[in-house]
Chain A
Amino acid sequence: MKTLIIIPAFNEEESIAGVIRAVHSACGFADVLVVDDASRDATRQVALAAGGNVVSLPINLGIGGAVQTGLKYACVHGYDMAIQIDGDGQHNPAYVPALLAPILAGKADMVIGSRFIERQGYQSTFARRGGIAVLRLLFLVLIGRRISDCTSGFRAYNRRAIEFLRERYPADFPEPESILLLSRHQFRICEIPVTMHERAGGISSIVGWSAPYYIAKVVLAVIMESMRKRA
Chain B
Amino acid sequence: MNRIQLLSILVTLALMVVTFELVRRRRIGEQYAVLWFAAELVLMFFAIFDNVLIAVAHIAGIFYPPAVLIPVLMFFVIALSLHFSVVVSRLTRENKKLAQEIGFLKSKVETMYSSMNPTLSGTHEQPPNEELEKQ
Measuring CB to CB, which residues of chain A are less than 8 angstroms from any residue of chain B?
Answer: 35, 45, 48-49, 53-59, 61, 65, 68-69, 72-73, 76, 171
Q: How far is the CA of A211 from the CA of B9 in the complex (A)?
A: 49
Contact A45 B124 (CB under 8 A): yes
Q: Who on chain A is nearest to B95 by CB?
A: A59
For chain B, give the interface size range.
10 to 19
Contact B123 A73 (CB under 8 A): no
Chain B residues positioned under 8 Å from A73 (CB to CB) = 104
Measuring CB to CB, which residues of chain B are less than 8 angstroms from any residue of chain A?
Answer: 92, 95-96, 99-100, 102-104, 106-107, 123-124
Chain A residues positioned under 8 Å from B92 (CB to CB) = 171
Q: How far is the CA of A92 from the CA of B84 in the complex (A)?
A: 44
Q: Taking A55-B107, A56-B106, A56-B107 as contacts, is the C-beta distance between A65 and B100 under 8 angstroms?
A: yes
Contact A57 B103 (CB under 8 A): yes
Contact A45 B106 (CB under 8 A): no
Q: How far is the CA of A57 from the CA of B102 in the complex (A)?
A: 7
Q: How far is the CA of A49 from the CA of B123 in the complex (A)?
A: 6
Given A61-B96, A69-B104, 7 other A-B contacts at CB below 8 A?
A35-B103, A49-B123, A57-B102, A58-B103, A65-B99, A72-B100, A171-B92
Q: How far is the CA of A45 from the CA of B122 in the complex (A)?
A: 11
Chain B residues positioned under 8 Å from A61 (CB to CB) = 96, 99-100
Chain B residues positioned under 8 Å from A55 (CB to CB) = 103-104, 106-107
Instruction: Give 12 CB contacts A-B under 8 Å.
Output: A45-B124, A48-B123, A53-B107, A55-B107, A56-B106, A57-B99, A61-B100, A65-B96, A65-B99, A68-B96, A69-B104, A76-B104
Contact B123 A56 (CB under 8 A): no
Tell me the smallest distance from the CB of B46 to a CB of chain A, in Å.
Answer: 38
Contact A69 B100 (CB under 8 A): yes
Q: Who on chain A is nearest to B102 by CB?
A: A58
Chain A residues positioned under 8 Å from B100 (CB to CB) = 57, 61, 65, 68-69, 72
Tell me the smallest distance from the CB of A154 to a CB of chain B, in Å.
Answer: 22
Chain A residues positioned under 8 Å from B104 (CB to CB) = 55, 69, 72-73, 76
Contact A45 B96 (CB under 8 A): no
Chain A residues positioned under 8 Å from B95 (CB to CB) = 59
Q: Who on chain B is nearest to A36 by CB?
A: B103
Q: How far is the CA of A69 from the CA of B96 in the complex (A)?
A: 9
Chain B residues positioned under 8 Å from A54 (CB to CB) = 107
Q: How far is the CA of A76 from the CA of B101 in the complex (A)?
A: 12
Contact A171 B123 (CB under 8 A): no
A58 touches which one: B99, B123, B124 (CB < 8 A)?
Answer: B99
> Which of A49, A53, A58 neighbours the largest number of chain B CB atoms within 10 Å of its CB?
A58
Q: How far is the CA of A48 from the CA of B106 in the complex (A)?
A: 14
Chain B residues positioned under 8 Å from A68 (CB to CB) = 96, 100
Q: Who on chain A is nearest to B123 by CB?
A: A48
> Which of B99, B103, B106 neighbours the largest number of chain A CB atoms within 10 Å of its CB?
B103
Contact B99 A59 (CB under 8 A): yes
Q: How far is the CA of A59 from the CA of B98 in the complex (A)?
A: 10
Tell me the smallest distance from the CB of B132 to a CB of chain A, in Å.
Answer: 14
Chain A residues positioned under 8 Å from B102 (CB to CB) = 57-58
Q: Who on chain B is nearest to A73 by CB?
A: B104
